[in-house]
Chain A
Amino acid sequence: MQNDNIHEIISIRHLTDSTYIIQMSRRGLKFRAGQHILLGKAGSIHNREYSVYSGEKDSYFEVLIKEVDDGMVSKQLKKLKAGDKVQIEGPLGFFTIEPELIEKEKFLFVATGTGIAPFHSFSRSYPEIDFLLLHGVRNANESYEKNHYPKERHILCTSGDKKGDFHGRVTEYIMKNRVSPDTHCYLCGNFNMIHEVFDLLEQQGVPPEQVHAEVYF
C-alpha cells in the first residue's frame, strides 16, 4: 500500500446523531472548492466520494458525512477517532466555479442534506462571492453549521418542522421565488431534488449551461 495518500484524523465533530465532520491533515494536497475526494479507512479497499467541506486556504481537509442506514463506508468512518488514519484519492470532479466568474456573477446554490458541503467550501474559499444558498432538510436541527454563512444568504428550507426560514422543500421555495435568468446555479445532493430543480430553472428561463449538478445518490 502506498503511504503518500494517508492522512491523519485531527478531530471528528458530531453535528447530529447521524451527521459528522471529519477534519484531517491536509498534507499540502491542492483542490478546487467543489471537488470531492475518495475517502476510506486506511488499509480498506472500500472508499466513497465525499465533497471537500473545508476551504481552499484551510490548513486541514474536512468532509461532512451523513451515516446512511444500510451504508458501509459512512458507518465505518463514523467509528474513527482522532489519530486514526484514512486514505484519500483525488481531488476529483468538475463541480467548480470558473475563477473569472466568482467576483462578477451571482450564484444560487441548492442543496439537500450533506449536499451543502461543496457550498460551504465555496463560501469559505471565496468570501467575496455573491450567492444565495437554499438548504433543504427535514428538520431544522440538520442545518449543519448555519452560523458559518452570512445570515441573509442562507435559507433553511425544512419540510418536516416549521423551525427553518422556509417551511417546505427547496423546489417550493424556487416556485415561489423566481430565479433570474442571469444566475449561475449549482445543485447538489439527492437525485430527485436535482432533477426537479433542473426543470424548474429551465421553466424560469435559466440557460442550461448555467446549471451545474452534483448527484450524490
Chain B
Amino acid sequence: MKKIAFKTLGCRLNQYETDALASRFHTGSYQIVDFNDEADIYIVNTCTVTNQSDQKSRQTISQARKKKEDALVVVTGCMANNYKESLLESKAIDFVVDNERKASIYGIVEKHFRGEVADPEGFDKDVFNYEAAYKTFHTRSMIKIQDGCDNFCTFCIIPKVRGRATSRPAEEIYANIREVIQYGFKEIVLTGVNIGRYEDGDTDFEKLVENILEIPGDFRLRISSIEPDGFTHRFFELFAHPKLTPHLHLCLQSGAESVLLKMRRMYTAKQFRQMAEKLRSMYPDFNLTTDIIVGFPAESEAEFEQSVTMAKELSFSHIHTFKYSVRSGTRAERMSEQIGEKVKNQRSEVIRKLSEENKRNYYKSMVGKKQRMLVERIGGDGVARGYGENYIPIRLKAAGLVKNQFIDVEITGLHEAKELEVTAKVI
C-alpha cells in the first residue's frame, strides 16, 4: 500500500480541498501518513496570499523532497497558479496542478503509478468536483459552496489565483450536507473565497443558509469567514435560528475610511460598525472575529489608530493581523509610499496585543453562561476539548464523554495554556 502525506498552507478553503483529497486517497487504498514521516507521495497545497506564505510554501516543497529522494511531489494551490512557470522548472517537484484541476490529483497520481504519462493539463477543470470528505482530519465538516472572487481589492492576489466567482449548485450543496450529516458530522462550516456572493439562480446566500437550516438532523451550521458587503436585514435575522452559530469572522481590514477606499473594499467603516452593532444588539454575546491589514501603502499613524480604535470598540475576540505585503499584479503594488517592515512589525504587535486582551475580556464575559460544546477530542488526561456555539475553545473534565457529541455546559473560568481556553462543567 502506498503511503501519502499532505500539507496544507493558507485558508480554510485549501484545508477543505486537502481533506476531500485525503478522503479520496483513503478510499482508494492509500495509507495516509504524517507529513513528517516518509511517504511515497507528498501533496503540498500551497498559499500565495503574502510573501510569508510564498516562503513557507517553498520550504514545505523542499522539505518534502528531502524526506524521500524518489517520492512523488505534487504541488497545487494558489502558488501553483501564481508561479506556475518557475515551479514547473523546479527539480523538487514532479507535478504542478493548478487550483482548477486540484480535484483531479487522485487521477493524476493513479495514472502516474500505472506508468502512463499523466499531464495535469489533460484533466478537466472543475472547482467543485470534490466528494464529501468523511475521513477528514477534523470533526467539523467543511462544505465548499463557492470559489473565486470578482471584488479585486487592491491588495489581494486571490481573484488572480482563484479566478472569477462561481457558485456550486444549491442542490449539490444540500445533498453534500445530508451526506456528511449521515456520516455523523455535527458541525457544518460553509467555505469558499467570497461566500456572501453566493448565487445560484434565485438562491442567494441568505436563501441558501435558510434552506440548509431546514435540513433535518442534529447538527449546527457555522458561516465562519465572510466579507461584510451587501447584507440585508434577513441576514441578521438568520442568527435567531438555533442551528446557526452566533459567530462570524467578518473581515474589516482597516478602520480608516480612507484606507478602505484605497483598498477598494465594498463597505465603509461606518457601515461595518453598524453591522457589528446590529449583531450585538440582536444577539448580545455574538462572537465577532476579524482580519486587519497593517501597513497598507501610505497608511498613516492616524489611519492605523482608527483600526485600533475600531478593534477596541467592536471588541473582536480574535484579530488575524496581516502585515501588508506587495503582491505582483495587484493595484496596490503600483501605489506610492510603501511602508517599511519596522513600522509594519510595530503596528502588527499593537494589534496582536489588543487581540489577546479582547479575547480575554470576551471569554471572561462568558463565564457563568451556557454553551453547547461539541467534543472534538479527549486527551490522555481525560480532558475533553471542543468548541461552544460561540466558537470558544472549551476544556471539560467529566465522566462518560464521547468524541463528536454535543454536551450542554456552563463556562466556569479561564484556563491559561499556550492558547487561552475556558473551563466548563456539565449542566
Chain A interfacial positions (CB closer than 8 Å to B): 49, 92-94, 191, 194-195, 198, 202, 208-209, 213, 215
Contacts and interface: CB of A to CB of B under 8 A. Distances in A.
Given A92-B152, A93-B150, A191 B271 contact: no
Interface string B137-167: 0000000000000111000000000000000
Given A208-B270, A215-B261, 9 more contacts: A49-B152, A92-B150, A94-B150, A194-B261, A195-B257, A208-B268, A208-B271, A213-B261, A215-B262
B155 to A, nearest CB: 13
Nearest to B197: A94
Interface in B350-395: none
A12 B29 CA distance: 62
Given A94-B266, A208-B268, A209-B271, A195 B152 contact: no
Contacts of B261: 191, 194-195, 198, 213, 215
Contacts of A194: 261
B230 to A, nearest CB: 8
A195 B263 CA distance: 13
Contacts, number: 28
Contacts of B150: 92-94
A213 B257 CA distance: 12
16 contacts: A49-B152, A92-B152, A93-B150, A93-B152, A94-B151, A94-B266, A191-B261, A191-B262, A195-B257, A195-B258, A195-B261, A202-B270, A208-B270, A208-B271, A213-B261, A215-B261
A197 to B, nearest CB: 11
B264 interface: yes
B257 A198 contact: yes
Contacts of A93: 150, 152
Q: Which are the 5 A-B pairs with shortest beta-carbon distances?
A: A92-B150, A215-B261, A208-B271, A195-B258, A208-B268
Contact of A198 (B262, B268, B331): B268
B360 to A, nearest CB: 33
Nearest to A72: B334
B257 A215 contact: no
Nearest to B262: A191
A198 B264 CA distance: 14
Contacts of B258: 191, 195
Contacts of A213: 261
Nearest to B159: A92
B147 to A, nearest CB: 16
Interface in B268-287: 268, 270-271
Contacts of B257: 195, 198
Contacts of A92: 150, 152
Interface in B159-195: none
B205 to A, nearest CB: 15
A71 to B, nearest CB: 9
B259 to A, nearest CB: 10
Contacts of B152: 49, 92-93
A215 B270 contact: no
A99 to B, nearest CB: 15
* Residue from the set B262, B264, B270 with the largest chain A CB neighbour count within 10 Å: B264
Interface in B227-262: 257-258, 261-262
A118 to B, nearest CB: 14
Contacts of A215: 261-262, 264
A198 B258 CA distance: 10
A126 to B, nearest CB: 22
Contacts of A191: 258, 261-262
Nearest to B151: A94
A57 B270 CA distance: 37
A208 B331 CA distance: 25
Contacts of A94: 150-151, 266
A194 B258 CA distance: 9
B193 to A, nearest CB: 15
A191 B257 CA distance: 11
Contacts of B268: 198, 208
Contacts of B151: 94
A94 B165 CA distance: 13
Interface in B119-151: 150-151
Nearest to B164: A92
A75 to B, nearest CB: 14
A136 to B, nearest CB: 17
Interface string B382-418: 0000000000000000000000000000000000000
Nearest to A35: B150
A68 to B, nearest CB: 10
B264 to A, nearest CB: 6
A94 B199 CA distance: 14
A81 B331 CA distance: 27
B331 to A, nearest CB: 8
B23 to A, nearest CB: 33
A92 B270 CA distance: 25
A213 B264 CA distance: 9
Contacts of B266: 94
A191 B152 CA distance: 16
B153 to A, nearest CB: 11
A215 B257 CA distance: 13
B84 to A, nearest CB: 13
A172 to B, nearest CB: 20
Nearest to B268: A208
A195 B269 CA distance: 12
A194 B271 CA distance: 16
Nearest to B266: A94
Contacts of A49: 152, 331
Interface string B22-60: 000000000000000000000000000000000000000
Interface in B315-337: 331
